[in-house]
A and B are shown apart, each in its own frame.
Chain A
């Protein structure tokens, strides 16, 4: 038994070392930094220990802006993208002809280069000297005035950011959900049909419960992914996100470390720990709900 234990650890060693060095140690380190006031990474010195970093971060208007942006992004994109993905998957599942073609089309954004997607969004939304962007052309067509989506009002920018995020995460969710739908045994629907079950009831009473594990998986990973959003914002609004008012928590952490106003690892650590606590709380709540709702 003892020998087996030793062997097991030996086999686990490579993974344990890597996880320890690159995951566990930094995590503990960040936690420690977040309580060290005025930590300087070059000289490895600090003035004192306490909650000052948290106090600073939580009173920093830029952080509050980032926090608000992140929450809005999460609350809008996670339900919308999951719902949309479910609708599209259901449609894909119900057609027979051209199903493969459509599946490929819907999966394309997933393998498309982010820069290419960014370019498409430029064409759609960016105001240039020559055009106001395709969306504005459409708005003008219906008699509306042009809106500056990239440098304009807050909600216009937030709309573009949410739109972009949903667009990016949709293909993966569709992929997961179409395979989940396809794996539901056909005889359940036959049995339901014999019993005169309406389509809506089949969906809510059979399809949804059957694929609920997958939906919860997508919701949980969706929440985590959206809370960690940063690159999408950069792709749309450039690197000076504070000025654009479109910063996210991860963006704030980055700025605190390396940005123009950077060089404050203590503040960055405190912000990172706050994000960690938020994500942990939301995930635990998610898991608790899924335990109640997802059976078998």
Chain B
């Protein structure tokens, strides 16, 4: 099912008296395509959980509208929206068995939707099988591992065959290994059911690895909505560029002078049609090429060999941040571990941003 958000805004009254309201979600205009896995990505406190709660109906928007396909569900209570929600702490009922937990939503059905005991059991078993916990039906949540609890929570959300599945930080309570496995699992479950799924995360790697579409948020505003690779390759502003990618992008204070990009006083790349102005220059770690004749003169700090790649750690006076981390092929690694190192730059890995607005300035060097 397609979800459309129109001018969606949520303001909370400030806890401190006489202070302006806090805008958690600011004027969202968004169309979420049917049957996709969408990652809602942003740092903590950026309003992504509030956005999820608005879609679920647990919060009512201050302004704006929410559409499921063509139905306006803005004023529809959560239980009638046909959503499944998985909470960050799973919210499994501790006194009920796995089976009773999964069956719980079905027991609430009334009227002509009411199911017989047999039908409920069959549906619960189907959901359990889908998330591969069918052998644990008689256990209680306290007897399950974090990953298993997570699966039970997903099964409980899926058992009513919701139109939308919402996951709030689904992986944050799991250890690193389990996180990798579980995110594949979420991907698989989403593919198998074809249910439009939105998950909230602050982990860019998580969002990048499994989403069909990433929505990057900051301070309640959507920064960019794109396919994961596109968000990485083509960030709309400095925040998005910094937020995605490990190691993070290297940001320098620079300028455009006479048709060239300068980092400090080092010319790194020609540009066409951009007037002289101060800018931020961002270069992805894989955008550096060690080059004796390169324009960017850096002070070498160290070399880390990591098998396939080598990361060159260096410093530059115009750098915003601690050190420059450049990732190069092992055979390009410098011989010494100190002294000066010069880089040339891969043009498509370099982005420039307006110094004031931090918006991307697009470079077009072709005629």
B334 within 8 A of A: no
Q: Find B80's partner among A187, A196, A197, A206 (CB 8 Å cutoff).
A: A196
A7 within 8 A of B: no
Q: Find B85's partner among A194, A201, A295 (CB 8 Å cutoff).
A: A194
A188 within 8 A of B: yes
B67 within 8 A of A: no
Asked whether, in the complex, the Cβ of B140 is within 8 Å of the Cβ of A295, the reply is yes
Nearest CB of B to A194, in Å = 5
B13 within 8 A of A: no
With A209-B95, A296-B142 in contact, do A195 and B89 touch (Cβ < 8 Å)?
Answer: no
CB neighbours of A291 from chain B (8 A):
none
Task: Determine chain A's interface SS by DSSP, over half rule.
Answer: helix
CB neighbours of B57 from chain A (8 A):
194
Closest to B80 in A: A196
Chain A 253-296 residues near chain B, CB threshold 8 A: 295-296
CA distance A70 to B34 in the complex (A): 69
CA distance A162 to B95 in the complex (A): 35
CB neighbours of A187 from chain B (8 A):
87, 89, 91
CA distance A210 to B140 in the complex (A): 14
CB neighbours of B83 from chain A (8 A):
194
Closest to B57 in A: A194
Asked whether, in the complex, the Cβ of A194 is within 8 Å of the Cβ of B140, the reply is no
Closest to A193 in B: B78
Asked whether, in the complex, the Cβ of A195 is within 8 Å of the Cβ of B104, the reply is yes
Nearest CB of A to B141, in Å = 9
How many residues on A have C-beta within 8 angstroms of the other chain's C-beta atoms?
Answer: 20
Asked whether, in the complex, the Cβ of B108 is within 8 Å of the Cβ of A191, the reply is no
Asked whether, in the complex, the Cβ of A195 is within 8 Å of the Cβ of B58, the reply is no
Closest to A188 in B: B91
B275 within 8 A of A: no
CA distance A185 to B92 in the complex (A): 11
Nearest CB of B to A165, in Å = 32
Q: Find A296's partner among B78, B80, B140 (CB 8 Å cutoff).
A: B140
CA distance A198 to B110 in the complex (A): 10
With A198-B108, A201-B108, A296-B94 in contact, do A191 and B87 touch (Cβ < 8 Å)?
Answer: yes
A190 within 8 A of B: yes
B105 within 8 A of A: yes
Closest to B78 in A: A194
CB neighbours of A198 from chain B (8 A):
108
A-to-B contact residues, CB < 8 Å? 185, 187-188, 190-198, 201, 205-206, 209-210, 212, 295-296
B-to-A contact residues, CB < 8 Å? 56-58, 78-80, 83-85, 87, 89, 91, 93-96, 104-105, 107-109, 140, 142, 156, 160
Q: Show 12 A/B contacts (Cβ-Cβ < 8 Å), sorted by A.
A: A187-B87, A190-B91, A191-B156, A193-B78, A195-B104, A195-B105, A197-B104, A201-B107, A201-B108, A205-B104, A295-B140, A296-B95
Supply 9 further A-B pairs (C-beta < 8 A) apart from A188-B91, A191-B156.
A185-B91, A193-B79, A194-B79, A197-B79, A201-B108, A209-B95, A210-B94, A295-B140, A296-B142
